[in-house]
Amino acid sequence: MARDAARNGTADVVVVGAGIGGLTLALALHRAGIACRVYDSAAELQPLGVGINVLPHATAVLDALGVLDALERVAVVTREAAFFNRFGQLAYVEPAGRFAGHATPQLSIHRGDLQAVLLAAVHERLGGDAVVTNHACVGVDDRGDGDVHVRFQDGTGASLPDVVGGAVVGCDGIHSTVRRQLYPDEGPPRWSGVNMWRGVVAHAPFLSGATMVRAGWLSVGKMVIYPIRDTLDAERRQLVNWVAELESDAPVQRDWTARGRLDDFLPRFADWRFDWLDVAELIRSTATVLAYPMVDQDPLPRWSFGRVTLLGDAAHPMVPRGSNGAGQAILDAICLAERFVERGVGAQALAEYDAIRNPATAKVVLANRSTPPDAILREVHERGGDKPFARIEDVVSREELARIAERYKEVAGLRTPAR
C-alpha cells in the first residue's frame, strides 16, 4: 500500500528531509501501515557529519523499529561517561546505557553510519523509491481541503511537480524551509558565545575503549572525546571523535560542513597531554577539521499548523551539549507515528503531537543552555580555581555532581534505572 501510494506521486504523509528524524519517521509510519514518502534536497545522500551519541531512550525506539542490531555492529557501545579537569584529573564517572541498567545501550556512532543504517532499512521495507533526492522544498500549501501541496525545485532551481499528501512533516534541519514559512519573522539563531571545532581520527583505544570523555571548561577550553568505530585496522585502532569548545568573540559560519582552522583554537589545547591521552596530538593528526557555532533557537509556541508540522532540528534546534539532538528527533518520530495511528492522518494528530513533544523538547533546549551534564565541569572548574586538585572531594562532593547528572536526565526523559 505504501509503495503504491508513493509511486502515484501521493502519500498519506510527505516527509521533507532524509536525516535522522525523517528516516526514523518513515520506518515508524511503515510499521504502522501508513503510506509515506521522503524527499531530500541532496542530489545523493552522503555520510556527512562526525560523531554523535544516541542515548537509551532513543535506542529503545530504534530497537522497536528493528534496526538496533545493525547499529550496534557499526557503533561503539558506550560503557561510561567520564568528566575531567583540563589537567586530565578524573572528577566524576558514571556508567552509561546497559552498563547503567537500561534495557538498551548508549551508542557512540558516526552520524553517517546512523543515517546509512536507517536509509538501508527504509529502502528494504518501503522500496527503493521511498526516498526521493534532488527535491528541495520551497513551500507548503495547506488548502484546507484535506490535501497539502508541497512545492519543490531541483538542484538547478527548476520547478518540479507538486507532491500532495494528507500531512507534511518538516524534518529539514537547522535551515528548515518549512519552519521559515511558518515563522518568517523569527530572526537569527541565538549564539551562546561559544564556537566548536570537530574532527575524527584513527587512534589507539584509551581508558576503557568505550568511554565518553568531557574535560576542561569553556572559558579555558573544553573537549569532548569518544570512539565511534571499533577495530579500523590490524593495530585495532578506533575512529575517535573529538570536539573542542571555546568562548569566542564572534560566531563562525552556521554550516555543518564548514572547515575550521587549527590556529583559531589549538593554542588553548597545546599543553593538554594527559597520562591516558595526548589531546594536542590527537587534534594535530586530524586531516579535516570542521567548525560550527554553538547556537540554538528559542522554543516555538507551536509547531503544527493544520496539516503541517515540524520535527527534529527543524522544530527544536539545540546547542549540542547533552547528547540529545538526534535522540529527541527519534522520540519525536515515534510520538508522531503513534498519534497518526490513534487519530488518523490529519490536523488532530499533529496538534496532539505538538502538545506532547513541544513542551518536552523546550525543556531540553533550555537545559542545554544552562545545566547540561557539562555543568559538572563548570562546578569543578570554578570551585577548584582552575588548578589541579589532590582529591576531588576537597573541591565538590560526588553526591553533588551526581545530582547535576540526574537532574539533566529527568529533563531529557532518561532517568537512571533503580538498582
- Tens of pLDDT along 86-117? 999 999 999 999 999 999 999 999 999 999 99
Is 315 within a domain?
Answer: yes
Q: Cβ neighbours of residue 184 under 8 Å, at least 6 residues apart?
A: none
Helix (H) or strand (E) segment spanning residue 139 = strand 136-142
What would the pLDDT profile of 302-320 be if each residue is shown by its tens digit?
A: 999 999 999 999 999 999 8
Contact present, 293 and 191 (Cβ < 8 Å): yes
Provide the number of structural domains found in the chain.
1
Q: Do residues 224 and 277 lie in contact, with contact meaning Cβ atoms separated by under 8 Å?
A: no
Q: Which CATH number do you get for residue 336?
A: 3.50.50.60
pTM for this one?
0.94
> Residue 138: its pLDDT value, please?
98
Q: Are 260 and 289 in contact (CB under 8 A)?
A: yes
Q: Is 217 domain-assigned? A: no
231: left (phi over 0), alpha (psi -120 to 50) or beta: left
**Entry field: residues in the chain:** 419
Residue 327 belongs to a domain: yes
Q: Three cell numbers at 326? A: 538526534
DSSP class of residue 134? S
pLDDT of 1 strictly over 50 = no
Confidence of residue 409 (pLDDT cuts 50, 70, 90): confident
For 250, other C-beta atoms within 10 Å of its C-beta total 8
3-state SS class at 77: strand
**How far is the C-alpha of 214 from the C-alpha of 373, rounded, in Å?**
9
Amino acid at 410: E
Per residue in 342-362, pLDDT (tens digit) is: 999 999 999 999 999 999 999
Q: Is residue 156 part of a domain?
A: yes
Question: For residue 123, what is the enclosing H or E element?
Answer: helix 111-126
Please check whether residue 77 is in contact with residue 210, taking contact to mean a CB–CB distance below 8 angstroms: yes
Residue 33 lies in a domain: yes
Give the orientation angle of helix 347-370 with respect to helix 325-343, to 10 degrees.
160
Mean pLDDT, rounded, for 350-377: 94
If we measure between CA atoms, which residue out of 192, 243, 268, 222 comes closest to residue 381? 222
Does 322 fall in a domain?
yes
Domain assignment present for residue 91? The answer is: no
Q: Which domain holds residue 361?
A: 2-48+111-187+300-369
CA distances from 259 to 142, 195, 321, 385 (A): 39, 13, 21, 34
